[in-house]
Structure 1
Amino acid sequence: MNMKSLFNRTVLTAALLSANLFTAQAAQAGDTPVADCVLRETPFSVQLPAYDVMTRPEARAITEKYYPGLFEVLPAWLLSEKMPSFATILTLEQLIERADPAKPRLAELDAELSALPVTEEVKAARCARFDAEPQYFTVDDSQVQVLVFQKINGYDHGRSVTAATEALTRMSKEMGYGVTVTANGGAFNANNLSQFDVVVWNNVSGDTLTLSQRAAFEDYINNGGGFLGVHASGGDSIYFWEWYRDALLGVQFIGHPMEPQFQQATLTTHENSAHIAESLPEHWSVKDEWYSFAAEPDLDGVEYVITIDESSYKPGNLAMGGVHPIAWKHCVEAGRAMYTAIGHREEMYDVPENITLIKDALKWTSGQGEKVCQP
């Protein structure tokens, strides 16, 4: 029996109980409407997700008055009105900027949008992409439990998500860990989360959790849970959850090269207190899509695990200069957090170096490694 894991989970459960965050077990599906989604009450504006403007006829009409043909000149994949939709991870202003960088009359548009009423129908529509019913999963008797979360409301990486799911499941089982996979945000309640040592966000994109689900996850992490974010889980152009962006990731994604999108590049492995990836070569090369960020992670005690040599590929105007991190780890109060930007190409989940990186990350974020976080 892994006594460290059992002790850590017992402490986590006690902390969540004391915070009165447990919820009763609920059915796996239901028709309960979501009432606490983010931006539910927010006035219409150019800072709303473009999706929440273009899917409301009255708001769309006002937008087209100021920017005629906007929704015709942009590519269809950007404007899907079905979930998942890229339009949920762009503000209306960002969408307009793609068609007309000068953005004339933006202030006038914003003023007219703000006068629209936020009706009960509007509120219900904004919350429709979230899950209401709390979920509770039955896990096996493995002493370490992994929850793989892969709900996608923004950009869907498709086959890469599937490849990552298969790889994470295989790796967890090889390590003797129990693994549960879900795309339902209802899994984020204290009762369910207390069963898991780490939650892996598998290419999650777009807002996926309600306010109460966010609160449960924040308490889970702060009280000793683990987070491992993979690729697209740190790749949205806008976040409406400051804690996730600032405390877990510590960065804001700004883009990736497109000419070409996938490039061979040289990565550097760094020593760190958790010994993550220590068996990898100091320098290794692989082909993937390479994210850039507005700045290096702004996190206390952050340790870089992998960085990229910008001279080994063509970042274009997305070059960060100096240090360009790709994978890093840090503590969030008593919790453990790590993010890796590797993983757009489905082939990446068969690359031996990436498999080693993820396995080591799973070990540390689940609390099994050395130098785990202290409250």
Structure 2
Amino acid sequence: MLPNTSICRLVTLSLLALFAPSAFATNAKVLIYSATEDFRHDSIPTAIQALQSKGPSFDIQFETTEDKAQFTDQYLARYDALLFLDNTGEVLDDLGKAALQKYLDLGGNFIGIHAASDCLRNTTFYGHEVGAFFDYHPALQNATVDVIDSSHPSTSMLPAQWHVQDEMYNFKSDPRTIGATIILSANESSYIDTGTRLNQGTPHPTAWFQERGAGAESNGTAGRSFYTSLGHLNETWQDELFLAHVFGGITWTLQSNTTLAFNTSAEVGNPSVSVDPTSSSSSTTGTSTSSSSAVISVPPIDVLPLKFMVLSIIAATFFPWLSSFYLGRFVLTAYF
């Protein structure tokens, strides 16, 4: 039988393992922008509901807007990624486009879904960020999508040949020309398309990613970009395999380490600690650095995670042998 002290240590370590990860987790914040000026998909509300309901399982908080006036430097800076959902037409004015450009230059991440490639058609930097502009699609029908890269988090769960009912998008250019990596391809022999395709490259691009979003300016800090052209139907957004594909792309995008949810030196995003907006900073291509004069404000005691407070009380009351060294480490972790 273990001595009492050993049992106490075992219980305490188990409690720490149980409480610590969730107590200090940081939620990423993503803005869903679903404004439309041309065709509007009736699946938009279903898509938003699916994203928001599953978000907490991935430590992601989704907020939504269709108000182009929200595209300001201050508003966009709150988010670790922008998710353009089924947008069509001129959904931003010049001020909004400038704010979007600045957000991308500061390391903001981008996710585009389905018709997101059919908006802002004359805005070059947006076309580069999404990867390619939509051209046309044949009639909605059953088709096969081939997995080109099964190692990506958005495709690792998919069968090698994925049978879907969706619109097989064609594009005005090849996403590979701006540095995108194709991960899904429409199998052109599996459906009927009598249209004239432009030079979109081979294999047929259907979903892709960019390690460094090409919409950021050359002197900016580029975040990641992910795009999937699938997602037309309400039924699609109720399919668990499709949602796994989408969330795989979202979580991969958020891991760029260019936003405040994961990098305290970043210049945009949802921070785990607050960065004084008056502090000066500079950025170079591929990196983000804050000056030594940046002021980090420590959260007040009342935001200390409740689970940690409970754990501390338990430890202090029942396990007095627990050293202040370990307790101190947890306090520092909670704050910094």
TM range (shorter): 0.5 to 0.7
Q: CA-to-partner distance for each residue in 1:297-321, whole Å, 9 max, x for gaps?
A: 1544311121110000011124567
- Partner in structure 1 of residue 188 of structure 2: 310
Cα–Cα, structure 1 residues 315 and 233, in superposed 2: closer, same or farther, change >3 Å? same
- Cα displacement (A) at 1:279: 2.2
Distance 1:322 1:182 in 2: 36
Cα–Cα, structure 1 residues 281 and 244, in superposed 2: closer, same or farther, change >3 Å? same
Cα–Cα, structure 1 residues 354 and 374, in superposed 2: closer, same or farther, change >3 Å? farther
Paired residue type of 1:183: E
- Cα displacement (A) at 1:272: 6.9
Match of 1:301 among 146, 163, 179: 179
Paired residue type of 1:343: G
Root-mean-square deviation over aligned CA pairs: 2.9
Please say if 1:249 is aligned against 2:166: no
- Partner in structure 2 of residue 149 of structure 1: 33
Please say if 1:337 is aligned against 2:220: no
The correspondence of residues 79-94 of structure 1 with structure 2, limited to 5 A, is none
SS of alignment partner, residue 271 of structure 1: coil
SS of alignment partner, residue 316 of structure 1: coil
- Partner in structure 2 of residue 80 of structure 1: none
* Contact 1:226/1:367 (<8 A) preserved: no
The correspondence of residues 44-193 of structure 1 with structure 2, limited to 5 A, is 143-158=27-42, 160-193=43-76
Identity %: 26
Paired residue type of 1:374: G
* Contact 1:189/1:216 (<8 A) preserved: yes
Q: CA-to-partner distance for each residue in 1:88-116, whole Å, 9 max, x for gaps?
A: xxxxxxxxxxxxxxxxxxxxxxxxxxxxx
- Cα displacement (A) at 1:167: 1.3
Please say if 1:357 is aligned against 2:253: no
TM-score by length of 2: 0.63
- Partner in structure 2 of residue 374 of structure 1: 286
Structure exhibiting the larger radius of gyration computed from Cα positions: 2
Q: CA-to-partner distance for each residue in 1:275-312, whole Å, 9 max, x for gaps?
A: 33212222110101111113321544311121110000
Distance 1:368 1:174 in 2: 20
* Contact 1:274/1:369 (<8 A) preserved: no
Flag structure 2 segments of 5+ consecutive residues without an equivalent: 1-18, 217-221, 263-284, 288-336
- Cα displacement (A) at 1:266: 0.8
Distance 1:253 1:151 in 2: 17
Cα–Cα, structure 1 residues 2 and 276, in superposed 2: closer, same or farther, change >3 Å? farther
* Contact 2:131/2:180 (<8 A) preserved: no
Distance 1:198 1:185 in 2: 16
Bigger proportion of residues as strand = 2
TM-score by length of 1: 0.57
Cα–Cα, structure 1 residues 369 and 360, in superposed 2: closer, same or farther, change >3 Å? farther
